[in-house]
Amino acid sequence: MLGGTIFNVPVVGWEVHQFIIIKSFIVLSSWIFGYFGMKHLPLTIVGPINATRPVMVLVGAMLIFGERLNLYQWIGVMLAILSFLMLSRSGKKEGIDFKHNKWIYFIVLAAITGAISGLYDKYLMKQFNPMVVQSWYNVYQVFIMCPVILLLWYPKRKGNTPFRWDWTIILISIFLCAADFVYFYALSYEDSMISIVSMVRRGSVVVSFLFGALFFREKNLKSKAADLILVLIGMFFLYLGSK
């Protein structure tokens, strides 16, 4: 029924599936680190740290895909790094010490594995159909997470985090799949640049910051807003340098 449309999923062999399985492990690693960190940290801290991923992706794209930094891009990188240092100062006002808080390391690891995933995505999109990658990596994630749930969560579920159904679970899935579809489709273009695509994706930090401010009533918003503005200015310079 979907043949000839952009939603068609072609049949591929094991030589393709093994690359997709690796993708599933990378994504799940990033999610696990990210979710644990997000549970224990303010959203206005998590968002800007995640926004540093374009810097890592840009450096990786330069080393792996031969992209080169120009003056504007270097300015963007420096601004992003400066914003991270300023953010650590804002975090200390809430009792969050970046050096001794393990959840900060979880978010940083989530950002690093997320950047690796982004670079790997560009490699996959240069060779394989976007729907093949998205469809099958979601399937493989189910098989990977089932033993994780059975071994780590299920035995301690009553004393730790009992499962409670919520319709937001479905909404998360829908929004995530929609975002992945557009993301993979963008990367499938021959002239697309992973550094630019990653930068635009991390613009979502604006949404997480506003949500943390409006709905969770998080603290020290003025100083964090300054950090956020630096992140956005850094992204803008990355955009200028990559035109």
Q: Can you read off the two tokens belonging to residue 71? A: 């003056």
- The mean of the pLDDT values for the chain is 82
pLDDT (0 to 100) of residue 77: 75
pLDDT (0 to 100) of residue 46: 76
pLDDT (0 to 100) of residue 95: 57
- What is the amino acid identity at position 76? G
pLDDT digits (tens, 9 = 90+) for 173-214: 999 999 999 999 989 888 777 877 877 776 676 777 777 777
What is d(CA 161, CA 147) in angstroms, rounded to the nearest whole number? 17
- CA-wise closest residue to 148 among 18, 35, 14: 35
Write down the H helix ranges in the chain.
14-40, 43-50, 53-64, 71-92, 102-125, 130-148, 168-187, 194-201, 205-214, 221-241
Query: What angle do helix axes 102-125 and 53-64 make, rounded to 10 degrees?
Result: 40
Q: Can you read off the two tokens belonging to residue 60? A: 């990786």
Ranges of residues in the chain with a pLDDT under 50 are: none
